[in-house]
Amino acid sequence: MNYKVIDRETYYRKDVFRHFSKDCKCSISMTARIDVTDLAAYSGITETKFYLNFLYILSKVLNSRDDYKMDYLYNTDELICYDVINPCHYVFHEDTETCTTVHSVYCEDYKTFYQNALCDLENAKKNLEYEFDSEKYPNWFDASYISWLSYDSLNLELPDGYLYFPPIINWGRYREENGRLLMPVTVRLNHAIADGFLVANVFRLLEQEIKSFLVNS
């Protein structure tokens, strides 16, 4: 795990960062539907899991830009950017109606990521513990699939003044609309390191990366 320290005096968002980390501490969250028709079809044809295919694409998108790999170190008062961030996702246990965290390592090679993440999921099914260890897994982002609902909006509250910078991404069941499969995705980022453009940009990059993934697979 490597990172670089951001010089806050030369940081391109320094004035925005100062305002939203001191005067108006808040996050920004946005929900939109993306077209996953072709990705769902690909997953069916290849007999691969749509969930893991989307998780790979999401991980690739968030690793494509430094703005999505930011963090704040309280002990040293440093704004940092990780070289890589990895997805922390979840397994739901039907018998206990609880979740187990799954930590997967992002790899740009799709086949490597898929096989490793699939193994991570299978291992997590045997474990009922909810492991949340930010010291052990500092460079991670939250990726949570809400499989029971195709929702229209979602809002996640964090304590006021808490400078939590890793992305929090949720997505729900896709549903058919006008012959296409549309899936709700929610992107939450801290306003100190992201604005409406950067949040909306995640959706644009997801759509682009889905097309690129299908062309190159």
A 10 A CB-CB count for 96 gives 9
Q: Would you state the pLDDT for residue 160?
A: 63
Q: What is the mean pLDDT of the chain?
A: 94
pLDDT (tens digit per residue) in 96-115: 999 999 999 999 999 999 99
Q: What is the pLDDT of residue 137?
A: 83
The tens digit of pLDDT for each residue in 41-85 reads 999 999 999 999 999 999 999 999 999 999 999 999 999 999 999
pLDDT of residue 157: 80
Task: Please give the domain boundaries of the chain with CATH numbers for all domains.
Answer: 3-216 (3.30.559.10)
Whether the Cβ atoms of residue 128 and residue 101 lie closer than 8 Å to each other: no
**Which residue, among 111, 63, 109, 67, has the nearest Cα to 87 in the 3D structure?**
63
